[in-house]
A and B are shown apart, each in its own frame.
Chain A
Amino acid sequence: MTAPAHAAASLERLLATKEIIIICGSGGVGKTSVAAAAGIAAATRLGGKVLVVTVDPAKRLADALGVDGIGNVERRVPDAAFRKAGIEPRGELYAAMLDTKQSWDALVMRHAPDEATARQILDNRLYDGLTSRFVQSHDYVAMERLFEIHQTGKYDLIIVDTPPTRNALDFLDAPARMAEFFGGRLLRWLTAPYRVGGRRGARILNVASRPFYQVADRLIGSQFLQDIAEFFLNFQSMYDGFVERSRAVEQLLRDKRTTFGVVTTLEDAPLREGERFCEELVKRNYHLGALVLNKTLPQDLFSRDGAAAAKQFCTDSSSVAATLSGIADTEGAARVLATIGGSFENFAVVAHRENELRQELTHQPDVVVDVPTFADEIADLGGLARIAGYLMPS
């Protein structure tokens, strides 16, 4: 990790100095909300043009931001939506949702040598599978789209909410893997028997490829193999474009202008994954900017006085209730006191557990931010702005 020279590292400084912030974390920790809130914080406090790219099709986020559905094309969050939440935006906030299929189609159209080849690729029955079912294709296309948007120079800051992947760091490898995939000897090996003397034709095996095909034929049939080969022969025509692009994307991810924010809750499994993230990012020389501990329980639950009161409510509710003047139903009062005492103790157990986990954190970046859990769910821009207030305290 490159330690900044200044002491006052803050999320505000990151938002002000970086051009790309990539938000990652395991599923269910609130990545999308944090990404949107960071966008709101930047747009309202720092100004400029800020874009939040999400992969989450949550209609609720679109509603919350006051945009009429978030699509592959960036949409501006109307100032009216800010004002409705009682905020005066200094800059402009935009939102876009990544549509994997559309982005892939655009990519093929751009890189294919001619329209006929592009059409052949788009119409191949393997294509849909590759782009929609092949899980890592989301990762690649997300990074590719980020690159494309960044290149337009339209935005001062782009915040990216990363796709929920099986292995959450897959997207980092996606560009390199895509380049390797197209340049790989295996692909040539797979397609070579179908491409003899510069022409496509019936399959001719050589000594090297024969054993592979002996097994592969028996496994999945030669017709299917030929389909695959056809598809990749066409796909290979885009090789140069893809490889060049993948390298550029990877460079951008490592650029000084790019930083990563890891979001986690203080629960065992997400936190462990969050820590693994931080560790990996640092190990691979990416810039780990901030760790956001999301949905934490209030500090009040640690209060000694609170614990004492809760205990008395639990053990002695009847006599406490009896002292109260103006309450006729002392039995009911006693029952409620016992209930809330017990509830406090329940939540305190969880809060203490959270605190222990917080203290066990080993890979802490310079910026660690707490966002408490809110009683009500975040349903509008005002709610997201509350999170923003914790990300960037005034």
Chain B
Amino acid sequence: MEPNLLDRRLLVVTGKGGVGKSTVAAGLALVASQHGKRVLVVDVDAKGTIADRFEAGTIGFKPREVLPGISLMAMDTEASLAEYIRLNLKVPIIGRLGPLARALDFVATAAPGVREILTIGKICWEVRESIEGRADWDLVIVDAAATGHVVAQLGAADAIGELVAVGPVRGQTEWMSELLSDPAVTALNIVTTPEEMPVEETIDLVGRARAELKVPLGVVIVNRVLPELFTRDDEAMFETLADAPVLDQLASAVGPGVPAVMDAARLAVAMRRSRLEHLNRLRDEVDLPTLYLPYLFARSQGRRETAMVAHALAGEMGL
């Protein structure tokens, strides 16, 4: 287990699309806030999924506190650039930022890594502010890009450093690289489900992160783990109960719904079993501390679900 996960300053949460990355990021934020941390959650894709987890309405670039100790912000590269220029360059033509931003937006589209650096730059800036006690948070949690894109995003500081030989951006990337590679500060965490593609992408990302990034890896969080219904003895008993002679007795004692219940149990067992294979592969291939979150048989999304995830996370983290 990682006892000090919440003591870091930057937790990046990634994973294949659809595995529940945002839900886990929100759960982590809630756990951290319950343990006295003030947290900023950054929604990198700015699709509003994080806001939904807190039922917080629309979130913009400017952080907004949605629960005591939890602030949310949505990434906006253009706003990030404007902020950077305002803070770092004394540009006389500030009034013409509109067309300028468009021009730079164009460069960002064209040149590799510019958009990424504006994203990771803003994140690192918030982390540094927090470390130096100038921000309203102790911890920044990033609901990051999906596995396919996160390496480019986190590696942008180094990549730009290689491409751009001089200039303030070059100088800027150095402190960012330092923050991102410090294991006391940063951890890259991967969310997966016990299914083939998410597990494969997790294994792949761990390898790529180690080869291409200096960012320390944190934990793997396996989401939606189905419960084990039976022990081996119980499973034998289930087979006996589901077999014709006993099944008929059950149906006459309980009613015509018995086969449906048996079928549902079979489905649950088979689903669990086919997923187990992927869990085992994950365990074999990835040597990171792993947290398991149960499949939530709940009808709710939003705050209620976030609270349930936070509770499960806290249990897994030994808090």
Contact = CB atoms under 8 A, between A and B. Distances in A.
Interface of A: 26-29, 56, 58, 60, 125-126, 128-130, 133-135, 164, 166-167, 181, 184, 186-187, 189-190, 211-212, 214-221, 223-224, 227-228, 232, 268-270, 298, 300-301, 303-310, 312-313, 320, 323-327, 329, 332-333, 335-337, 339-341, 343-344, 346-350, 352-353, 373, 375-377
10 contacts: A26-B17, A27-B17, A126-B111, A130-B110, A215-B93, A216-B107, A228-B111, A298-B267, A309-B258, A323-B249
A268 B301 contact: yes
Given A212-B100, A353-B299, A324 B246 contact: yes
A184 B254 CA distance: 73
Q: Which 4 A-B pairs have the closest CB atoms?
A: A27-B17, A28-B18, A129-B112, A305-B257
Contacts of B19: 28
Contacts of A187: 106, 110
Contacts of B256: 305, 309
A210 to B, nearest CB: 10
Contacts of B87: none
Contacts of B160: 220
Nearest to B112: A129
B110 A228 contact: yes
A304 B229 contact: no
A221 B168 CA distance: 8
A293 B240 CA distance: 35
A340 B229 contact: yes
Contacts of B27: none
Nearest to B44: A166
Contact of A220 (B169, B227, B260): B169
Contacts of A211: 93, 96, 100
B168 A181 contact: no
Nearest to B251: A309
A215 B238 contact: no
B230 A339 contact: yes
B238 to A, nearest CB: 5
B261 interface: yes
A309 B264 contact: no
Given A26-B17, A214-B93, A313 B261 contact: yes
Contact of A60 (B17, B146, B196): B196
A214 B100 CA distance: 11
Contacts of A333: 237, 240-241
The residue in B89, B103, B146, B264 that gathers the most chain A C-beta atoms within 10 A of its C-beta is B264
Given A129-B112, A340-B265, A349-B299, A190 B234 contact: no
Contact of B255 (A219, A298, A308): A308
B135 interface: no
Contacts of A126: 111-112
A212 B257 CA distance: 73
B297 A349 contact: yes
Contacts of A306: 257, 260-261, 264
B262 interface: yes
A227 B258 CA distance: 72
Contact of B164 (A215, A221, A337): A221
Interface in B255-299: 255-258, 260-268, 270-271, 274, 297-299
Given A135-B149, A306-B260, A326 B229 contact: no
Contact of A305 (B246, B260, B266): B260
B250 interface: yes
A268 to B, nearest CB: 5
Contacts of B104: 215-216, 219
A223 B257 contact: no
Contacts of A300: 260, 263-264
Contacts of A325: 249
A164 B146 contact: yes
Contacts of A212: 100, 103
Given A215-B100, A313-B261, 17 more contacts: A56-B197, A58-B196, A126-B111, A129-B113, A212-B103, A215-B89, A216-B107, A217-B167, A300-B260, A305-B255, A312-B254, A320-B250, A323-B253, A329-B237, A339-B265, A340-B262, A375-B266
Contact of A223 (B102, B116, B165): B165
A346 B297 contact: yes
A219 B168 contact: yes
Nearest to B90: A218
Contact of B229 (A134, A307, A339, A349): A339
B78 to A, nearest CB: 14
B250 to A, nearest CB: 7
Which interface residue of B103, B145, B233 has the most chain A CB atoms within 10 A?
B103
A232 B267 CA distance: 56
Nearest to A372: B267
Contact of B166 (A223, A298, A343, A376): A223
Given A164-B146, A224-B163, A336-B238, A215 B254 contact: no
A27 B197 CA distance: 11
B91 interface: yes
Nearest to B163: A224
A320 B253 contact: yes
Contacts of B164: 220-221, 223-224
A22 B190 CA distance: 30
A238 B258 CA distance: 68
Contacts of A308: 254-255, 257
Contacts of A323: 249, 253
Contacts of B57: none
Contacts of B116: 133
Interface in B108-136: 109-114, 116
A383 B267 CA distance: 16
Interface string B75-102: 0000000000100010101001000101
A223 B165 CA distance: 8
Nearest to A303: B260
B245 interface: yes
Contacts of B270: 375-376
B55 interface: no
B174 interface: no
